Amino acid sequence: MSDKQQTAVSPRREEDFPEWYQQVIRAADLAENSEVRGCMVIKPWGYALWERMQAVLDGMFKATGHKNAYFPLFIPLSYLEKEAAHVEGFAKECAVVTHHRLELRDGKLVPAGELTEPLVVRPTSETIIGAAYARWVKSWRDLPILLNQWANVVRWEMRPRLFLRTAEFLWQEGHTAHETRAEAEEETMKMLRVYETFARDFLAVPVLCGEKSEGERFPGAERTYCIEAMVQDRKAIQAGTSHFLGQNFSKASGIQFQSREGQLEHAWTTSWGVSTRLIGTLIMMHSDDDGLVVPPRIAATHVVIVPITPKEDSKAAILEAAENLAASLRSVVFHGTPLGVDVDACQSASRSAHATSRREPQPSPAATRVRRKKNFSRSRRFLNKSRPCSRKSRARSCGVPLNSAMPTW
């Protein structure tokens, strides 16, 4: 008999980390690959995590004076051409719409009605939002503009990986315009710190903050800053970015205003964003060989009540008791939000046996509690200890000075 420890997820992390990651997503029913190459279907459990992230971040954005808006999915090709460095950086990733209808010919649908100007499916929104700001800004009194957009974007991805790299993904992108360079630089660093706080306090993910090298800079930006996390395979992952765009995009888009001295000047702009990649980061940081582990502040569900009804005549009373218990638990507020409680009223003996056969071996409730306690204790240690990272780690960490310290796990 093999002495190898049985785990709920196979392979284990040390055996094949990339495949372990995919199997955790499958076992937790978070997402799956779509029929459209490079795209994913985010299932209810996975989307619930994104909704929690949205809710927390949206509150943090509004607390710093930002408001939400929405801009078009399609961007005229000429808009991207106005900023040469920008279009060069995204040219190989763009999906382009060239026709506006389909026609049936010989039993097949074919594109028809060629557009006078091709439309790029949003890879990012600096250019289309810049065009709007150029219409809105006339005077220094119109500044600053502090807007955020929750949206999807498309960047053609040849090597997709669920949550980490997909052709279409969900994100938020903030875009601001300012009167002075100093205000824009302050905004860039402020939002970087918002991301750092969110990752540390809600995702229990310690991150390094630093400036990207020139080769990794956002196309068209003067400076790009990021937060990067070191996950369990000892590799860095970019978890969020904040860009100081200078006047590059305002000059390309014509965002001009009359200054306090009566002179015509260009605005100073920023952009910043995080995406569903945060879910992938969360999985690789906290999960183990028995499956998904989620920090409680970001978990959508904290308690699942499974009614056991061996006799039909007691089923109604047991379900009622379960619902009453759930209602009582939902009145408990944890870190500003009610506990997430689900009642699995559909559980049956046959379903239970089926689920067990699919997911063996199942850890006992006591073992699960111990595992979670150990994991969150480990998360606390991430935040309280540090030691110098290896040269290889530093080389991957967004241009942070070589004397930086890396969290320990």
pLDDT digits (tens, 9 = 90+) for 278-334: 999 999 999 999 999 999 999 999 999 999 988 889 989 999 999 999 999 999 999
* In a shared domain, residues 96 and 174: yes
Taking 50 as the threshold, does the pLDDT of residue 359 lie above it? no
For 205-244, write each residue's pLDDT tens digit. 999 999 999 999 998 999 999 999 999 999 999 999 999 9
Task: Give the DSSP H or E segment for 308.
Answer: none
Question: Which is more confident, 389 or 9?
Answer: 9
Do 130 and 72 lie in one domain? The reply is yes
- pLDDT average, residue stretch 177-201: 98
- What is the chain's mean pLDDT, rounded? 86
Instruction: With respect to residue 96, please indicate whether it lies within any of the assigned structural domains.
Output: yes
State mean pLDDT over 355-373: 41
Report which of residues 406 and 66 the model is more confident about: 66
* 24 in a structural domain: no
What pLDDT is attached to residue 2?
55
| 31 found inside a domain | no
Place of tokens 């969150």: 376
Over 50: is that where the pLDDT of 24 sits? yes
Interatomic CA distance for residues 359 and 281, integer angstroms: 24
Q: What is the pLDDT of residue 347?
A: 58
Q: Which two tokens stand for residue 381?
A: 């240690």
**For residue 3, what pLDDT band results from cuts at 50, 70 and 90?**
low
DSSP notation for 74-123? EEEHHHHHTSHHHHHHHGGG-EEEEEEEEEEETTEEEEEEEEEEEEEE-S
At 16, the pLDDT band (50, 70, 90 cuts) reads very high
Based on the structure, what is the number of domains in the chain? 2
Q: Do 356 and 282 fall within a single domain?
A: no
The verdict on 268 and 311 lying in the same domain is no
Residues 245 and 311 occupy one common structural domain: no
DSSP three-state, residue 290: coil
Judge whether residue 82 has pLDDT over 90: no
Residues 230, 178: one domain?
Answer: yes
Sheet of 145-154, strands arranged across: 67-68, 145-154, 168-178, 268-275, 236-246, 223-230, 208-211
CA-based nearest residue to 275, from 383, 123, 65: 123
Reply yes or no on whether the pLDDT at 388 is more than 50.
no
* Amino acid 241: pLDDT: 97
Same domain, 240 and 317: no
47 plus 181 within the same structural domain: yes
Q: How many CB atoms lie within 10 A of CB 82?
A: 17
Among 375, 385, 380, which Cα is nearest to 408's? 385
Average pLDDT estimate for 11-17: 95
Query: Domain of 358?
Result: 301-368
- Residue 319 placed within a domain: yes
Q: Are residues 236 and 340 in the same domain?
A: no
Identify the CATH number of the domain in which residue 171 sits.
Answer: 3.30.930.10
Domain annotation covers residue 383: no
Distance between CA atoms of residues 290 and 360, nearest Å: 10
pTM above 0.85, yes or no: no
Domain endpoint, select from 235, 264, 287? 287
Whether 142 and 136 have beta carbons less than 8 Å apart is answered as yes
Distance of CA 218 to the CA centre of its chain: 18
| Model confidence at 397: pLDDT above 70 | no
Domain assignment present for residue 172? The answer is yes
Query: Residue 389 falls within a domain, yes or no?
Result: no
Q: Is the pLDDT of residue 175 over 80?
A: yes
- pLDDT score, position 311: 86
Question: Looking at the structure, do residues 94 and 188 belong to the same domain, yes or no?
Answer: yes
pLDDT in tens, 30-78: 999 999 989 999 999 999 999 999 999 999 999 999 999 999 999 999 9
In this prediction, residue 130 carries a pLDDT of: 96
Task: Examine the domain organization and report whether 113 and 158 are in the same domain.
Answer: yes
Give the whole-number percent of the chain exceeding pLDDT 70.
83
Query: For the chain, how many helices (H) and strands (E)?
Result: 12, 20
pLDDT of residue 88: 75
Average pLDDT over residues 199-205: 97
- CA nearest to 249, candidates 132, 97, 402, 400: 132
Both 308 and 277 in one domain: the answer is: no
124 vs 397: which has the higher pLDDT:
124
Question: What would the mean pLDDT of 79-86 be, rounded to a whole number?
Answer: 80
Please say if the pLDDT value at position 357 is more than 90: no
Q: Where do runs of H (alpha helix) occur along 181-239?
A: 181-201
pLDDT band of 368, cuts 50, 70, 90: very low
Checking if the pLDDT of 389 tops 50, the result is no
The verdict on residue 373 lying in a domain is no
More reliable by pLDDT, 63 or 358:
63
Per-residue pLDDT tens for 240-263? 999 999 999 999 999 999 999 999
